[in-house]
Amino acid sequence: MNKLFKTAALALLALSVAACSSGSTDGDWPVPETPISEMDYTPEMTRFALWAPTAEEVEVRLYTAGELEEVLPMQPAEACLWMLCKEGDLRGKEYTFRVKVGGEWLGETPGIFARAVTPNGERGVVLDLKRTDPEGWSEDQRPALHSAAEIAVYEMHYRDMTAHASAGVSHPGKYLGMAEHGTKSPDGLATALDHLVELGVSHVHLLPTADFGSIDETVENNTQYNWGYEPQHFNTPEGTYSTNPADPAARIRELKTLVQAMHKAGLRVVLDVVYNHTTSVERCGFELTVPGYYYRFNPDGSFANGSGCGNETASEKAMMRKFLVESLEYWVKEYHVDGFRFDLMAIHDIETMNLIRERLSAIDPTILLYGEGWAAMIPAYDNEQLAFKRYTHRMPGVAAFSDDIRNALRGTLDCSQGGFIHGVAGNKEGLKFGIAGGVEHSAVAHSEAAWCAEPTQHMSYVTCHDDHNLRDRLELLSPEANEEELLKMAKLAHVGVFTSQGLPFIFCGEEMYRSKLGEKNTYNMPDKYNAIDWGLKKQYGNLVEYVKGLITLRKAYPQFCLGKAELVREHLTFLENEEPSALGFRLTSPANSEVIYVLMNGEREATTFAVPAGDYTVLANGHEVSAEGLSMLKIGGEGISLQPIEALILRSK
């Protein structure tokens, strides 16, 4: 009887393998309904599971301190999973999976969903994640967010913010460095985390934080720099930013400590996620578990390259879609993350993006989602089904970066010509489009069709990490201008961003007039080019206060973020002005009789705006901003004249 049972069991396993092997690389293999979990630990037993539909054999290899101790065969189970339950307490053991396909064993991998890894991601690690929680983690709460009017996003890199000696942090370039309170510059001014609190932003966008493949984590006190757009393991933090990369638990605990510190400070945390490609196909779990499945391919069988990095992932395939959704859910649940920025979002398909929005909204509808509505090159998929910027209106609750307002304000990406703030003609309609938050508006005649269904889908910005920063761009395009004029241009750009109906976004250090020494692509350049000298905060304190004032102003007056397209069309009116680089607009309130006028003069001569006669409170001029008001201003029937490269924001009843 026992022999018959074993024979039947073996026959069942053979059928299971055959069912998976009969599938194809088009994604028609069974996908498990249960969440992806390749390693489940208890003190009594650890369960390993791997989805490997094309495998003939799969094994788990157990290590201690890098030394191979045991090789254990896995058994096929339902939905193309291979399973192994190993009794005993394996906490601290290292592991890899190895898969045989076509008669050959592939390389070792921690899998596609490793939650903890050894330095440089060579092996997975059996951990009890509860032991990585900092004290009070179970009580951690994401800060309240009552409306989109409160949103202001600040993009930062760990080393940019803390690596310079002037940052005054104990752990420069580390998670814990950004978690410190009380850090001061030599001038006694707040730096790092406390600076963000002072500035008044709501969301802190952290450049790629998941494990990436370009920096050797085994080098002690490694100061090598990288933005991190080279993902290797998507569900474990990068060890470079840990104080002890050799301890697999340290990076997890320290990132949680940072999230906790930001939450306590009233800041929400956005992760920059890079699911569109991997650092290589040879070193990552996708190709080492199911060759030819997780990526897209050209007709000749070569890897498609919509990312410009050698490969592009296939979000439309069932298991890749499941992976994307569950990975994001994992970051929300395990690390309490409050939002995500998608690198090259247009490589992902619209159906997947909508499913992501649905699943994350089920956890918390205030989780912020936005991304780049473009790809580096043409993806190998039906472009009408991909999350390009022009299809943002088909993805409710997902926002895209607006190169419309960016280019209109500061000029073209290639620096061939300037924009509105340089007094260059031809940018007015693009700026109006951005001010309206990318929605249809009868007064906007932009060359590009409205791509937002709602203004909250429009990320308004002038610079981010992957371009010249604003100061360098201004100096490059206006070499004849003095610093006073350049600072006026910078302020005018910030006015455009923070009075737009879209969601405002600012790159770290722009409020301090930082420079990257003229370099555009500093993704792997030393701290000399990337680290912020906090002495700039005192030197350009007026600009810091100006940006801080704009953030406060936006929160104080809901007219700046009406939130709905119909309200924008009803309450936003553009003023007539024939000058090509002069723009004025009027905002009324759905709730009261308060009226806001925003006047922006990018011309190199004084310009008159047809503002109705009356008494006004000045909320902002070219020098300072105050939500309570700076002064009173009486305007006659002739309107008001505004000086070159200047803005004026007025309030009336």
* Chain segment 504-529, per-residue pLDDT in tens: 999 999 999 999 999 999 999 999 99
Mean pLDDT of 239-263: 98
Give 527's Cβ-side CA count (13 Å radius). Answer: 18
Question: What is residue 592's predicted lDDT score, i.e. its pLDDT?
Answer: 86
**Per-residue 3-state assignment (H helix, E strand, C coil) for 296-339:** CECCCCCECCCCCCCCCECCCCHHHHHHHHHHHHHHHHHHCCCE
Residue 15 pLDDT grade (very low, low, confident, very high; cuts 50, 70, 90): very low
Q: Is 84 inside a domain boundary?
A: yes
State phi, psi for 153 to the nearest 5 degrees. -100, 135
Q: Do 27 and 109 fall into the same domain? A: yes
Output the average pLDDT for the chain: 95
Domain limit, last residue, from 561, 591, 612: 561
Mean pLDDT of 226-245: 97
Q: Is 629 inside a domain boundary?
A: yes
| Domain count across the chain | 3
* Chain segment 131-143, per-residue pLDDT in tens: 999 999 999 999 9
Residue 485 pLDDT grade (very low, low, confident, very high; cuts 50, 70, 90): very high
| Residue span of the structural domain in which 62 resides | 2-132
Q: Does the pLDDT at position 13 exceed 80?
A: no
Domain limit, last residue, from 506, 527, 561: 561
**The CATH number of the domain where 155 resides is what?**
3.20.20.80
Domain limit, last residue, from 108, 132, 156: 132
Q: How far is CA 251 from CA 115, 117, 148, 335, in A?
A: 11, 10, 32, 12
Q: Do 254 and 338 fall into the same domain? A: yes
* Chain segment 287-343, per-residue pLDDT in tens: 999 999 999 999 999 999 999 999 999 999 999 999 999 999 999 999 999 999 999
**CA 545 to CA 509: how far, in whole Å?**
13
- Count Cβ atoms below 10 Å from residue 417 Cβ, excluding itself: 13
Q: Do 274 and 374 fall into the same domain? A: yes
**The CATH number of the domain where 575 resides is what?**
2.60.40.1180
Question: What is residue 14's predicted lDDT score, i.e. its pLDDT?
Answer: 47
Question: What is residue 380's predicted lDDT score, i.e. its pLDDT?
Answer: 98
Mean pLDDT of 439-462: 96
**CA 521 to CA 32: how far, in whole Å?**
42
> Has 338 been annotated as catalytic?
no
Q: Is 566 inside a domain boundary?
A: no
- As to burial, measured by CB atoms within 10 angstroms (0-12 exposed, 13-18 middle, 19+ buried), residue 186 is exposed
Q: Do 146 and 121 fall into the same domain? A: no
Question: What is residue 153's predicted lDDT score, i.e. its pLDDT?
Answer: 98
Q: Do 368 and 389 fall into the same domain? A: yes
- As to burial, measured by CB atoms within 10 angstroms (0-12 exposed, 13-18 middle, 19+ buried), residue 544 is buried
* Chain segment 47-98, per-residue pLDDT in tens: 999 999 999 999 999 999 999 999 999 999 999 999 999 999 999 999 999 9
Q: Do 481 and 357 fall into the same domain? A: yes
**CA 227 to CA 489: how far, in whole Å?**
28
Q: Is 446 inside a domain boundary?
A: yes
Q: Is 599 inside a domain boundary?
A: yes
Q: Do 196 and 228 fall into the same domain? A: yes
Q: Do 273 and 185 fall into the same domain? A: yes
Q: Do 495 and 598 fall into the same domain? A: no
Select which of 372, 454, 510, 511 is catalytic: 372
**CA 148 to CA 460: how far, in whole Å?**
13
Q: Is 269 inside a domain boundary?
A: yes
Q: Tell me if the pTM is above 0.85.
A: yes
**CA 181 to CA 261: how far, in whole Å?**
9
Q: Is 15 inside a domain boundary?
A: yes
> Has 343 been annotated as catalytic?
yes
Helices 318-335 and 248-264: angle between axes, nearest 10 degrees: 60
Select which of 211, 287, 338, 343 is catalytic: 343
Q: Do 159 and 203 fall into the same domain? A: yes
Q: Do 65 and 213 fall into the same domain? A: no
Q: Do the Cβ atoms of 387 and 349 come closer than 8 Å?
A: yes
Q: Tokens 């902002």 map to which residue?
A: 620
Q: Is 120 inside a domain boundary?
A: yes
Q: Do 350 and 259 fall into the same domain? A: yes
**The CATH number of the domain where 98 resides is what?**
2.60.40.10
